[in-house]
Chains A and B, each alone.
Chain A
Amino acid sequence: MTTMLRELRLSLNQTQRVRLQSALQRLQDMASLASAVTVVADTIPVNHEDSILKGHGTSDLNGEVVATLCGVVERVNKLVYVRAQRARYKPEVGDIIVGRVIEIAPKRWRLEINFSQDAVLMLSSMNLPDGIQRRRTAVDELNMRSIFEENDVICAEVRGFQHDGSLHLQARSQKYGKLERGMLLTVPAYLVKRRKQHFHHLENYGVDLILGCNGFIWVGEHVNSNGENDMMVDQENREGLVNKSEVGQATYEVQEQITPLEIRKHVCRVANSVRLLCALGFSLTVEVIVDTVEASISSNTDIKDILAAEFYVQTAEREVQRRVSLTRRKG
C-alpha cells in the first residue's frame, strides 16, 4: 500500500493520505475476496492421478506444481498455466489496436503496437481510399505514403499470426485508419479489457475515444467515420495521384482546421481522466472514464487539477462506492 502511494508521487496532506489509504485498502480487500489469485511460490492444487501439462508460469517443486508468476490459474483440459496479472500486451485475433507506423516496407507498413515485436499491416489488407476493391498495383505501392506516413497513428484490427509468429493486422473498414487531431496516451495494456466496443464517440463532448487493446489510447476530436469529411479528403487524395502539387495544397487546408477550444477542453479533460485512472490502476472502461469526466465537471475541477491530490482521493473513493454498489446488486 505504501509502495502504491509512493508510486503516485503526490503531495497529499494528512487527511488526504488517510482517506486515500483507506479507500485503497478497501479496494484491495474487495479484490482479494473476489477472485482467487496466486502469487509466486503458491502451490497450484492439481489432481495427480490425472496426467497434467504444466504450462506458462508454473514449475515443478518437490512433486508439487507451484506458480512462478502472480496471476490467475487457468486450466484448459490437461494444461495448467498462470495468466500473469501484469504482463506485456499479448494480441488475440480480433483485437482492436492503436499503433504507430515506424517503417514502410514493400507492400506493408510496420507498426509499433506495444507487443514484443512489430505488427505488419499489408497494403492488401486495407481498404484503399477510393473504396474500390481491386488488385493492388505497383502504383498503389508507390503511393503508400499518401495513405500512411511514418509516425502516423492508426487503428486497426488483429487479423492473425503468421507461421513465423509475426502479427498481421487489417483495416478493412471506414472506422479504421489514420487518427488525427488528438493525442495518444500509453497505459499498461492490462488496464484495457476486451469488450464488444472499443470505438467510443462521447456525444456530449464531441470527443472520440479509442481504447486500443494494446494499451494505446486515442483521445481526439470527433470525426465522422463515414461522413462527408473523410470522403472529401479521399477525393482529394485520389486527385492527388493525378495532380500532386495542387491537391497537396487542398488537403493541407482541410487539415489545418484548428480544434475549437471548447472541444479541446473536453479532449484534455478526457485525457487527464484516463491518465488519472491509469495512475490509480483502475480498469479503463468507457463508463468509468465518462463517470470521472462528469465528476470532474460537476465538482468544478480544473482540467489540470484532475491530476492533483484532491481529485485522486475523490476518484479512489468513488471507485470504492461503485464496487460496493456492484457487489450489493449481485448479492
Chain B
Amino acid sequence: MVGLSEGEKRFIRGGIAQDLRTDGRQRLHYRPISVETGVIPQANGSARVRLGATDVIVSIKAELGKPHPLQPDKGKVAIFIDCSPTAAPMFEGRGGEELSTELSFALQRCLLGGRSGAGAGIDLSSLVIVEGKVCWDLYIDGLVVSSDGNLLDALAAAIKVALSNTGIPKVTVNLGASPNDQPDVDVSDEEFLQFDTSGVPVVVTLTKVSRHYIVDATSEEESQMSSAVSISVNRHGHICGLTKRGGAGLDPSVILDMISVAKHVGEQLMSLLDSEIAAAEASAEDQ
C-alpha cells in the first residue's frame, strides 16, 4: 500500500485534527467531482466518475431474463465490481479480488435493499415485462481504473449517473395461446424508455482517523483510518444501507452522529450529482 513516513503520517493526522487536510479541504469536503455519461456505446447506460485521482467506469447492460420464482413481479439486478491492475500494482493477478467482492457486496447492500428486493433504490417492479415470465436483468459492471481512496462513494455515484443514462428498449409482447407458453417478445431497436432513478441513493463514506471523521478520504488518509462507515442516503434523506469497514469499534453515539452528518453531506452530494448529470448530458448532446 502507500508507504508514508512517520512525519507524513503525523502531518496528515494533525491536519485532520485542525480541520485542514493536506489538499486544503475541510473534514466534510469532497474533492472536485467530474462526471461523463455514455462512455461505452455498446452498453445500455454508462458513466465515468472521477473524484480527484480516483477514476471509475460503470456500464449497465439490460438483458431479457426470467424473474425469480419467489418474486414473480420483480426484475433482477446484479452488481459486479472489478479492480483493474492498472489502478494499483496490488490488484494484479488475484490481488484485487478481495477488494472487488467487498465493494460489490457493500454496493449491493446499499443499493439493492433486502433479499426480497423490497426497499431497493432501483425500482425492481418496473423491470418486469410479463409477470412471472419475462423481465429485464440489469447487469451493473463497475471498473476501477485508478484508485486514490473512497472507491465506494465514487462507484455508487457512477452507478447513479449510469442508471440515469440508461435507456431500456421498448418491448411489445405477444402472449402465447395458452398461459403456460413462453410469450413472444419483440425488442425495439429505436425506442428506449428512461429509467426512474429518483430513488437511487448516494453513498457517503465517513473515514475515522484518530478522533475525527472525514469524507472522501484519499488513499493516504485511508492508510491512517481506524474504521470507515459507509452510509447510503436517498433523496428524502433516508438511510438505505450502512456498512462498516476496518477493525476498530465505534461508540454507538458516534455512529448516530456520523449518520446525521452523512445525511447532510449526502443531500449536498445528491444535488451536486444532479447538476453534474444535467451538465454531462447537455455536453453529450452537443457533440
Contact = CB atoms under 8 A, between A and B. Distances in A.
A183 B276 contact: no
A295 interface: no
B24 A151 contact: no
Interface residues of A, number: 36
Interface in B146-200: none
B5 A152 contact: yes
Interface in A170-186: 178-184
Nearest to B34: A9
Contacts, number: 89
Given A11-B34, A261-B18, A304-B29, A180 B24 contact: no
A269 interface: yes
Contacts of B17: 258
A11 B5 contact: no
A264 B14 contact: yes
A303 to B, nearest CB: 3
B20 A11 contact: no
B32 to A, nearest CB: 7
B8 A183 contact: yes
Contacts of B8: 153, 180, 182-184
A102 B6 CA distance: 14
B7 A178 contact: yes
A113 interface: no
Contacts of A150: 3
Contact of A303 (B7, B24, B50): B24
A181 B20 contact: no
A226 B26 CA distance: 34
Q: Specify which of B14, B26, B34 lies most central, judged by the most chain A CB atoms within 10 Å of its CB.
A: B14
Contacts of B5: 100, 149, 151-153, 178-180
A297 B179 CA distance: 74
B23 interface: yes
B263 to A, nearest CB: 23
Nearest to B29: A304
Contacts of A259: 11, 14-15
B264 interface: no
B238 interface: no
Interface in B103-133: none
A272 interface: yes
A302 to B, nearest CB: 7
Nearest to A6: B36
Given A150-B3, A261-B18, A265-B20, A11 B10 contact: no
Nearest to A302: B24
Q: Specify which of A259, A304, A307 lies most central, judged by the most chain B CB atoms within 10 Å of its CB.
A: A304
Given A183-B11, A304-B23, A307-B23, A151 B3 contact: yes
Contact of A255 (B10, B15, B29): B10
B14 A268 contact: no
B25 interface: yes
A114 to B, nearest CB: 14
Given A100-B5, A153-B7, A181-B11, A268 B22 contact: yes
Contacts of A102: 3
A180 B14 CA distance: 13
Nearest to B279: A11
A271 interface: yes
A300 to B, nearest CB: 14
B4 interface: yes
Contacts of A268: 15, 20-24
A181 B13 CA distance: 11
29 contacts: A9-B50, A11-B32, A11-B276, A100-B5, A149-B6, A151-B3, A151-B4, A153-B5, A153-B7, A179-B5, A179-B7, A180-B7, A180-B10, A181-B7, A181-B10, A182-B7, A182-B8, A255-B10, A258-B17, A259-B15, A261-B20, A264-B18, A268-B22, A268-B23, A269-B24, A304-B24, A306-B24, A307-B23, A308-B32
Closest 5 CB pairs of A and B: A180-B7, A303-B24, A151-B3, A304-B24, A268-B24
Given A10-B32, A265-B20, A271-B23, 12 more contacts: A9-B32, A11-B276, A151-B3, A152-B5, A181-B7, A181-B11, A182-B8, A183-B8, A255-B10, A264-B14, A271-B22, A303-B24
